[in-house]
């Protein structure tokens, strides 16, 4: 079905099915006709590609993805929506709706079963309440995915795409940049959604590295060090990591020295290489 972005079309579908928006599930549906075709075009999907969509809603983005991809698997938590999607996506025979919580799904299994031999990308207008957990699950599980293209709140997009060594960066920046190269594709105004959220959004794309570029001995420790460093942004990394990881300052100072990192740095002044060298040096001491 076309025009799923049309305000009146959505109202009609809602009236026919008795559907009402769930704020708890982050249901802000797109009503701007230009956004979904652009996302589908820029997400890296083509006639040989499989696409995973998180949260299809009534299918406005799914409809565009079905036109460009070989196959689309859309994961939806709201059990009222699959029935509606059957009607709105009836024109397409290359779509499967999976009912469930994306955070609980075994995505390795899903990819192996649904997309054998295919290159896979993710494309989604993410529910805002779990933006970072979904992105981190998709990256940390090391899924065979080429790229993630997601709509997130503008502020989250700025953080996710920030350069290290700038004020805008945070723990999530260092985590995302460990696995991928993120970039901002385009901004989307709050008025492009129904109901309209309070803030603007942006679409970002993360091109996933086949293998992380950093030389990290213990990934879990790297992420603990990064989170610890950013847990108190105004403090030095030495102080924050010492209290977050429970390591005494003398031992930690030796680790800084071995890593060649200045212990007086604040977290936003650290590079990814600094974090990698520091976590490797800490690893040899705890």
Residues in contact with ligand SAM by CB under 6 A are 25-30, 54-57, 60-61, 75-78, 101-103, 125, 127, 130
CB of 9 to ligand SAM, least distance (A): 12
Q: Residue 173 CB, nearest distance to ligand SAM (Å)?
A: 23
Torsion of CA 52, 186, 157, 102, to 10 degrees: -10
Q: Rounded to whole angstroms, how far apart are CA atoms 145 and 186?
A: 22
Name the residue among 174, 147, 285 with its Cα closest to residue 229.
174
Residue number, 90 or 264, with CB nearest to ligand SAM: 90
Note whether 217 and 187 are within 8 A (CB). no
* 248 CB burial (10 A radius; 0-12, 13-18, 19+): exposed
Antiparallel, parallel or unpaired: β 147-153 and 119-125: parallel
Q: How many CB atoms are located within 10 Å of the residue 225 CB?
A: 30
Decide whether 130 or 241 has the Cβ nearer to ligand SAM: 130
- Minimum Å distance from CB 270 to ligand SAM? 32
CB of 6 to ligand SAM, least distance (A): 12
* Contact call for residues 190 and 197 (beta carbons, < 8 A): yes
In the complex with ligand SAM, the residue whose CB is nearer, 202 or 225, is 202
Q: What span, in angstroms and rounded, lies between the C-alpha atoms of 221 and 242?
A: 13
Give CA–CA dist 284/286, Å, rounded. Answer: 6
281 with 258: CB under 8 angstroms? Answer: yes
**Least distance from ligand SAM to the Cβ atom of residue 39, Å:** 9
Q: Which among 165, 137, 169 is positioned nearest to 150, based on CA atoms?
A: 137
Nearer to ligand SAM, 32 or 254 (CB): 32
Instruction: Decide whether 201 or 240 has the Cβ nearer to ligand SAM.
Output: 201
> Is the CB of 27 or the CB of 180 nearer to ligand SAM?
27
Supply the minimum distance, in Å, between the C-beta of residue 258 and ligand SAM: 42
Residue number of the CB atom closest to ligand SAM: 55
Taking the complex as a whole, the smallest distance from the CB of residue 183 to ligand SAM amounts, in Å, to 21
Instruction: Assess contact for 125 and 102: CB atoms under 8 A.
Output: no
Instruction: Indicate the residue among 138 and 229 with the shorter CB distance to ligand SAM.
Output: 138
> Toward ligand SAM, which CB reaches closer, 17 or 254?
17
| Residue found under tokens 């696409």 | 51
**Residues linked to residue 183 through DSSP beta bridges, in sequence order:** 205
- Least distance in angstroms from the C-beta of 135 to ligand SAM: 13
């Amino acid at each position: 079905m076309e025009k799923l972005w049309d305000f009146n079309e959505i109202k009609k579908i809602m009236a026919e099915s008795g559907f009402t928006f769930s704020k708890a599930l982050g249901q802000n549906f797109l009503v701007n006709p230009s956004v979904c075709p652009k996302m589908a075009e820029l997400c890296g999907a083509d006639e040989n590609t499989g696409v995973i969509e998180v949260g299809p809603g009534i299918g406005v983005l799914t409809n565009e993805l079905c036109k460009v991809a070989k196959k689309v698997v859309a994961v939806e938590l709201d059990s009222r929506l699959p029935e509606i999607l059957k009607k709105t996506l009836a024109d397409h025979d290359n779509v499967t709706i999976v009912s469930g919580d994306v955070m609980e799904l075994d995505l390795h299994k899903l990819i192996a079963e649904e997309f054998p031999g295919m290159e896979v990308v993710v494309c989604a207008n993410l529910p805002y309440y779990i933006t970072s957990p979904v992105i981190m699950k998709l990256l940390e599980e090391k899924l065979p995915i080429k790229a993630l293209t997601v709509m997130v709140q503008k502020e989250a997009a700025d953080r996710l795409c920030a350069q290290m060594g700038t004020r805008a960066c945070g723990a999530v920046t260092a985590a995302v940049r460990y696995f991928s190269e993120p970039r901002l594709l385009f901004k989307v105004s709050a008025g492009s959604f129904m109901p309209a959220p309070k803030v603007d959004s942006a679409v970002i794309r993360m091109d996933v590295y086949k293998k992380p570029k950093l030389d990290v001995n213990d990934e879990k420790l790297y992420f603990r060090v990064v989170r610890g460093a950013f847990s108190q942004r105004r403090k030095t990394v030495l102080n924050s990591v010492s209290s977050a990881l429970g390591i005494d300052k003398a031992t930690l100072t030796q680790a800084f020295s071995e890593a060649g990192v200045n212990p007086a740095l604040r977290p936003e002044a650290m590079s990814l290489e600094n974090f990698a060298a520091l976590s490797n040096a800490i690893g040899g001491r705890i």
